[in-house]
Amino acid sequence: MANSNEFPIQAVRQQFPALNRTYKGKPVIYFDGPGGSQVVRSSIDSIAQYMMNGGANLHGQFITSKETEAVIAEAKKAIADLFGASVDEVAFGANMTTLTFALSRALSRTWKKGDEIVVTEIDHRANVDPWLAIAEDLGLVVRWLRVDPEGLTLDLSDLNSIITEKTRLVAVGLASNGVGTINQVEQISRRARAMGALVYVDAVHATPHFSIQRDELGADLLLCSAYKFFGPHVGIAVIRSDIFEGIKPYKLQPAPEYIPDKLETGTQNHEGIAGIMPAIDFIAGFGQGATRAERLISGFSRIEEYENRLAEKIRTEMGTMTKIKLYQAKSAVRKTPTIAFEVEGISPVEVCRYMAEEHGIFVADGHFYATTLGDLTGVNPRGGWVRVGLAPYNSDEEVDLFLEALREITSRTKSC
Ligand SMILES: Cc1ncc(COP(=O)(O)O)c(C=O)c1O
């Protein structure tokens, strides 16, 4: 796979058993990657194998316990390679939202009334509401980085007055799960660092689409979820060790005091964790290099190029359709292959029902928890957006079928 320049789409598709599914006699087309990708076979096999071989809890003197510890260690190594971090900086949890609630409580133990935190208008609420809840509990001041509702990018013109010496933490998403905009996190983190504030990056939507180097980004804490990148439902926190050492999570008294275990409350999802390394190795399989970290970087550039080509085809074709309103940042703005739109005269839920029932095309509708952006763009009262989200297992043929179905649906609606 790694030696061919052409994207090996057929070989990729064979690795995803869910692509064999049909609905009403048609092959299913999964365009709902941002809600959760399909799972690569090697990950599924690894989960099944873990459970079939005999699972166990940690710290036992028997082989299944030792194997469980090894599985967790290799998953952490793979995640460390994914983000340019180290193994002791990686902790697991239920999902990004739950980890963020836990971390917001832990981090804020030293904050005082009047301290400030910064959130954004473009983010998924999972990186907003845990911070608002703590702000309410402690009397913190919440400052917002505004979004330009037309341009669909963060407005950083008053960054210096929003992030100041009073700021304790800046919570920002790397990419918008609603409209795909990739935010200028480096610029934000430079300012935050200069002011002594922590940078908390939600990389849930971004992780499957491009290489993320935690230190280049300037992220102190970076969160993601394996179910968005071809693996199981496991939440992941990557925390800079010097900061992690100082965090006091709410934990049981006898549980470990050391990093990263101290954040992992209760027994983890061992079988899910067994599925993480194969998902990361699937991405690395597209790349070249002596180490997995190198293969991940070059693998992602192939994925990005392939997905962007498909996404551009969709954006360009949709741009010619009169009854489609696209919600996309300007072409110069870097984006994930996530395309939000409305069809004039037909609600998002109806578009999605039609796509699923008539064509077996699974696209999602709603605000996708990016509710502030949904309010500001005015789509919430109309049922949000329709969102097409691509993954490396999507093909040109699927894109063509989707565009054809869209032409069909727009030709049925009356012009308003
Ligand atoms: C950008 C973004 N952040 C956070 C979340 C929440 O992640 P989790 O389901 O792991 O809590 C999602 C889920 O869709 C997301 O897309």
**Which is nearest to 202 in space by CA: 188, 222, 218, 229?**
222
Between the CA of 145 and the centroid of ligand 1 the distance, in Å, is 19
* Mean pLDDT score, 381-387: 98
Mean pLDDT of the chain: 97
* Position 332 pLDDT exceeds 80: yes
* Mean pLDDT score, 159-183: 98
pTM of the model: 0.97
Q: What CA–CA distance (Å, rounded) separates 163 from 353?
A: 43
CB distance 240 to ligand 1 below 6 Å: no
Q: Note the pLDDT of residue 412.
A: 79
CB distance 376 to ligand 1 below 6 Å: no
Indicate the pLDDT class of residue 5, thresholds 50, 70 and 90. confident
Phi, psi (5° rounding) for residue 191?
-65, -45
* Position 416 pLDDT exceeds 70: no
Task: Kindly give the number of the ligand 1 atom that is closest to the alpha carbon of 123.
Answer: 1
Q: Note the pLDDT of residue 32.
A: 98
**Which is nearest to 78 in space by CA: 305, 231, 201, 256?**
231
Q: Is 6 helix (H, G, I), strand (E, B) or coil?
A: coil
Between the CA of 190 and the centroid of ligand 1 the distance, in Å, is 25
CB distance 205 to ligand 1 below 6 Å: yes
Q: What CA–CA distance (Å, rounded) separates 375 from 45?
A: 42
CB distance 269 to ligand 1 below 6 Å: no
Q: What is the pLDDT of residues 289-311, one digit of tens each?
A: 999 999 999 999 999 999 999 99
Interior/surface letters 357-373, b for 16+ CB within 10 angstroms, e for the rest: eebbbbbbbbbbbbbbb
Indicate the pLDDT class of residue 25, thresholds 50, 70 and 90. very high
Q: What is the pLDDT of residues 195-231, one digit of tens each?
A: 999 999 999 999 999 999 999 999 999 999 999 999 9
Mutate to test the pocket of ligand 1, among 95, 103, 204 (most ligand atoms within 8 A of CB): 204
Q: Specify the residue with its C-alpha closest to ligand 1, atom 12.
A: 204
Task: Kindly give the number of the ligand 1 atom that is closest to the alpha carbon of 36.
Answer: 14
* Position 2 pLDDT exceeds 70: no
CB distance 124 to ligand 1 below 6 Å: yes
Between the CA of 204 and the centroid of ligand 1 the distance, in Å, is 5
CB distance 202 to ligand 1 below 6 Å: yes
CB distance 181 to ligand 1 below 6 Å: no
Indicate the pLDDT class of residue 4, thresholds 50, 70 and 90. low
Between the CA of 207 and the centroid of ligand 1 the distance, in Å, is 11
Go through the domains of the chain in sequence order and give each one's CATH number: 9-39+302-412 (3.90.1150.10), 44-282 (3.40.640.10)
**Which is nearest to 179 in space by CA: 319, 309, 36, 333?**
333
Mutate to test the pocket of ligand 1, among 98, 101, 212, 225 (most ligand atoms within 8 A of CB): 225
Q: Is 295 helix (H, G, I), strand (E, B) or coil?
A: helix
Indicate the pLDDT class of residue 1, thresholds 50, 70 and 90. very low
CB distance 189 to ligand 1 below 6 Å: no
R_g of the chain computed on alpha carbons: 22
Indicate the pLDDT class of residue 265, thresholds 50, 70 and 90. very high
Interior/surface letters 24-56, b for 16+ CB within 10 angstroms, e for the rest: eeeebbbbbbbbebbbbbbbbebbeebeeeeeb
CB distance 235 to ligand 1 below 6 Å: yes
Q: Note the pLDDT of residue 3.
A: 45
Q: Is 340 helix (H, G, I), strand (E, B) or coil?
A: strand
**Which is nearest to 160 in space by CA: 132, 213, 206, 118?**
118
CB distance 177 to ligand 1 below 6 Å: yes
CB distance 95 to ligand 1 below 6 Å: yes
Q: Note the pLDDT of residue 413.
A: 63
CB distance 120 to ligand 1 below 6 Å: no
Task: Kindly give the number of the ligand 1 atom that is closest to the alpha carbon of 35.
Answer: 14
Task: Please check whether residue 326 is in contact with residue 316, taking contact to mean a CB–CB distance below 8 angstroms.
Answer: no
CB distance 96 to ligand 1 below 6 Å: yes
Q: Note the pLDDT of residue 203.
A: 99
CB distance 367 to ligand 1 below 6 Å: no
The neighbour count for residue 393, using CB atoms within 10 Å, is: 20
- Work out the percent of the chain whose per-residue pLDDT is above 70: 98
* Mean pLDDT score, 257-270: 98
- Residues 405, 411, 412, 415, CA torsion sign: positive
Place of tokens 């460390």: 80
Between the CA of 97 and the centroid of ligand 1 the distance, in Å, is 7
